[in-house]
Amino acid sequence: MSTELQRQEEGQLMAKERNYRRPYYLVNGGKENYEIRVFMPGVSKDRYKVSLHRNELYVEGHKDTAIEPAARWLHRETDTSDYKLHLQLNVDVDADGIVAKSEDGILTITLPVAQEARPRQIAIS
């Protein structure tokens, strides 16, 4: 096998590989819903992916970076890694009522607690 072909294959593998980092996030909970604010600067509104599988919430954000891969940096303060967050939910949520909105690099996800999981008061007769 020629060295040129081997270098090309290595380059293709590196191009497919992505670097992820865990974003900063806040969770506020109540009796009726939970609100999760995920901070992902540099991610545009159409580059988010939010999914719920059983009781696990997955959030991904891909940055739109126009940085040339062959550039040699002396110093760089911005990170080009994409974001990935995986949260295990400890309460049942209503999957049909989940709302996600993005504003200024902050993704806000509202998870309504399922009706059967909400606390209720029982009348005593």
> 25 has which bridge partners?
38
Write the pLDDT tens digit of every residue in 62-114: 887 666 767 787 887 777 788 999 999 888 888 889 999 999 889 999 999 88
Name the nearest CA neighbour of 109 among 98, 94, 117.
98
Dig out the tokens for 44 from the structure.
Answer: 């545009």
Name the nearest CA neighbour of 21 among 39, 46, 45, 2.
39
117 confidence band (pLDDT: 50, 70, 90): low
Tell me, what's the pLDDT at 6? Answer: 46
**Phi, psi dihedrals of residue 89, rounded to the nearest 5°:** -90, 135
Write the pLDDT tens digit of every residue in 46-57: 899 999 998 899
Predicted TM-score (pTM) of the model is 0.73
**Whole-number Å distance between alpha carbons of 79 and 60:** 16
Dig out the tokens for 110 from the structure.
Answer: 């509202």
**Whole-number Å distance between alpha carbons of 113 and 97:** 9
